[in-house]
Amino acid sequence: MLTRKPKGKVVQFGARTILAKGLPQSFWKDLHHYAMTASWPRFFGALALGFVCMNLFFSSLYALGAALGDDPISDTRPGSLVDYFFFSVETLATVGYGDMHPKSFYGHCVATLATFVGVSSVAIVAGATFGRFAQPRARLLFANNLVIGPHDGARMLMVRFGNERLNAITEASAQLWLIREELTAEGSTFRKFHRLRLTRDENPIFAFTWTLMHPLDEESPLHGWRQEEFDQSSATLVVIFSGHDENSAQVVRGRQVYATKDVRVDHVYVDIATTDGPQDVTLDYANFHDTAPIAAASPPL
């Protein structure tokens, strides 16, 4: 049975799927955004398809001239769409091997237009490709689950993430937000954003791992929540990260969205660090996502 595709834009926000309707959607007006956000296979696939279509268009113009009695290109087989196609490729790419060249006034006019389109396309494609490569992005590894457990005598909501590049990110900062729907005094539902206080929201040099901790005291909007509340809630937890990447000399950013059902109460993260000597430490990222009940493990460093 065929399913009808929903009209609108589908946005995946963590575990929630949001359908936005009523917004004017225009591919051509937001072409730069699509070029920056498309996957690499789709990006190069679109470039290849556009390249073939442009050459088919100009080869059709040459074939049209030949059909009307003109001989636009020299050293081509009469009416050969294949020859006109490869001549168009040479013209758009500004290669100009010389074995084929415009012969008539009509051929020169079409070749001039094709050259202009080719030169413009090279600039646009080069700019879009460079823009994609130049985008500063952090490679962050976020734990699959948040945990609630003890640390330094207090009950904490913790989320662990790591730097997959293992390079120095200086002046790093992080935020933890709770997004949930609440009732206003008028009885209507309103989505509110709560910035959760962290014991440490800055890191001078972030190179390996970082565990954010939010005290679940009386000031916390999550104070007193049990596993049932987290499992049944539709709220969302968002981690936002930014820092200065010393290798690229640019600011890198990252984010991760969790559903409240991803929280494990009375658990801690399994420690990934083992000490091999006075100065040697091994970090086993294979255990990065592992958690354990409080009785079976100790809080991470």
Residue type, 93: A
Evaluate if residue 5 carries a pLDDT over 70: no
Mean pLDDT of all residues in 266-279: 85
Mean pLDDT of all residues in 19-31: 69
| High-pLDDT (> 70) share of the chain, % | 89
What would the two tokens of residue 252 be?
Answer: 């890198």
DSSP for residue 136: -
Grade residue 4 by pLDDT with cuts at 50, 70 and 90.
Answer: low
**b/e per residue 194-210 (b: at least 16 CB within 10 A):** bebebeeeebeebbebb
Q: What is the pLDDT of residue 78?
A: 80
Q: What is the pLDDT of residue 6?
A: 61
Grade residue 15 by pLDDT with cuts at 50, 70 and 90.
Answer: low
Q: What is the pLDDT of residue 176?
A: 97
- Closest by CA to 254, choosing from 142, 155, 97, is 142
Residues whose CB is less than 8 angstroms from the CB of residue 24 and which lie 6 or more positions away in sequence, other chains included: none
By DSSP bridging, strand 250-259 and strand 263-265 are unpaired
By DSSP bridging, strand 140-142 and strand 291-293 are unpaired
By DSSP bridging, strand 146-151 and strand 263-265 are parallel
- Closest by CA to 178, choosing from 151, 199, 196, is 196
Helix spans in 96-158 (H): 105-134
Mean pLDDT of all residues in 18-41: 74
The mean pLDDT of the chain is 87
What does the alpha-carbon distance between residue 102 and residue 104 come to, in Å, rounded to a whole number? Answer: 6
CB 64 within 8 A of CB 81: no
CA dihedral 102, 104, 110, 116 (to 10 degrees): 50
What does the alpha-carbon distance between residue 228 and residue 80 come to, in Å, rounded to a whole number? Answer: 73
Mean pLDDT of all residues in 226-233: 94
Domains of the chain, each with CATH number or no CATH:
9-134 (1.10.287.70), 140-296 (2.60.40.1400)
3-state helix, strand, coil in the chain (%, to 5): 30, 35, 35
Number of Cβ within a 10 Å radius of residue 268? 24
Q: What is the pLDDT of residues 128-164, one digit of tens each?
A: 888 887 777 788 999 999 999 999 999 999 999 999 9
Evaluate if residue 2 carries a pLDDT over 60: no
What does the alpha-carbon distance between residue 287 and residue 285 come to, in Å, rounded to a whole number? Answer: 5
Cα distances (Å, whole numbers) of residue 102 to 90, 99, 106, 270 = 12, 10, 8, 72
What does the alpha-carbon distance between residue 71 and residue 204 come to, in Å, rounded to a whole number? Answer: 71
